[in-house]
């Protein structure tokens, strides 16, 4: 879920920025990601369409597929962004399922995020709830944090996370930094916890224990009207390091 959250943060923040500056522009996000190293064999991809229905509202529709060594999965997404002067609300509902070996499973994910300006456009308070259900496995993640525009080119996000599964709560934290110019942006950060936490990734829907420390780095480049984002997420696992590589392209539809 860490890389999923990062990818969605890139997408949603980029859409919110474009929404505020060039209102009523449709955006298509095409993305793919794969896990590399250890026993990782999973990969996935999809497309997401964000359509402004008004100057302050955006519809989010998407479809995603993936494969693993023993099966496959697919799901659809319906969500949106509602911008107001005092807060911006975004969220999405994912519904689908797949097959692992001979066993079929259902998949549900509901995410809601609220961003509130802290008396200045340079600082935002952020709250997020992320609920994932795969067959009989349930994980609920809570995130509280803030995004700060430190300088015109440098911004940072600091968050506290809690993952709850089966009555067991696992605390965690994350930090992210972005340095941007007019045509490109470099980003990087770390996710850390005192003990392994239950989570899920877009290329492996089953909630599993993830590492206590994960680092990520990436770059966003503007090529004409398009934007290309590449992110690498590296985590320490009991059987060695596992890297997840994400590539996403945003195409304005005008």
Quote the strand ranges of 166-212, DSSP E.
168-180, 184-193, 197-201, 204-210
State percent of the chain over pLDDT 70.
Answer: 80
Query: Domains in the chain: how many in total?
Result: 1
Sign of the torsion formed by the C-alpha atoms of 52, 53, 58 and 60: negative
Report whether pLDDT(40) > 50.
yes
Domain interval for residue 15: 2-253
Using one digit for the tens of pLDDT, what is the confidence trace for 192-216?
876 554 444 444 444 444 556 788 9
State how far the Cα of 132 lies from the Cα of 244, in Å rounded to an integer: 20
DSSP code of 181? -
Report whether pLDDT(138) > 90.
no
Cα 96 off chain centre by: 18
Using one digit for the tens of pLDDT, what is the confidence trace for 15-28?
344 334 445 789 99
Summarize the confidence of residues 21-36 as an average pLDDT. 80
- What pLDDT does residue 211 have? 54
- What pLDDT does residue 60 have? 94
Report which of residues 36 and 2 the model is more confident about. Answer: 36
Helix (H) or strand (E) holding 147: strand 137-149
- The mean of the pLDDT values for the chain is 81
CATH label of the domain that carries residue 35? 2.40.160.40
Using one digit for the tens of pLDDT, what is the confidence trace for 49-84?
999 999 899 999 999 998 877 788 899 999 999 998
State how far the Cα of 223 lies from the Cα of 213, in Å rounded to an integer: 33
């Amino acid at each position: 879920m860490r890389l999923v959250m990062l990818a969605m943060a890139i997408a949603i923040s980029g859409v919110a920025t474009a929404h505020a500056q060039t209102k009523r522009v449709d955006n298509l996000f095409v993305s793919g990601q794969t896990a590399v190293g250890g026993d990782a064999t999973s990969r996935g991809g999809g497309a997401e369409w964000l359509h402004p229905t008004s100057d302050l509202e955006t519809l989010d529709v998407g479809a995603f597929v993936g494969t693993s060594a023993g099966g496959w999965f697919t799901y659809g997404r319906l969500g949106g962004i509602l911008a107001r002067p005092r807060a911006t609300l975004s969220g999405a509902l994912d519904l689908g399922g797949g097959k692992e070996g001979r066993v079929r499973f259902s998949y549900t994910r509901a995410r809601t995020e609220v961003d509130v300006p802290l008396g200045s456009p340079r600082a935002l308070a952020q709250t997020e709830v992320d609920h994932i259900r795969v067959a009989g496995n349930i994980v609920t993640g809570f995130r509280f944090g803030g995004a700060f525009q430190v300088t015109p080119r440098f911004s940072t996000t600091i968050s506290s996370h809690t993952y709850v599964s089966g009555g067991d709560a696992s605390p965690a934290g994350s930090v992210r930094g972005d340095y941007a110019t007019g045509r490109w942006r470099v980003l990087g950060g770390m996710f850390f916890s005192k003990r392994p936490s239950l989570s899920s990734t877009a290329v492996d829907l089953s909630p599993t224990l993830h590492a206590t420390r994960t680092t990520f780095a990436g770059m966003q480049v503007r090529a004409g009207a398009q934007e290309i984002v590449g992110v690498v997420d590296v985590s320490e696992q009991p059987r060695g390091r596992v890297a997840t590589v994400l590539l996403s392209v945003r195409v304005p539809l005008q």
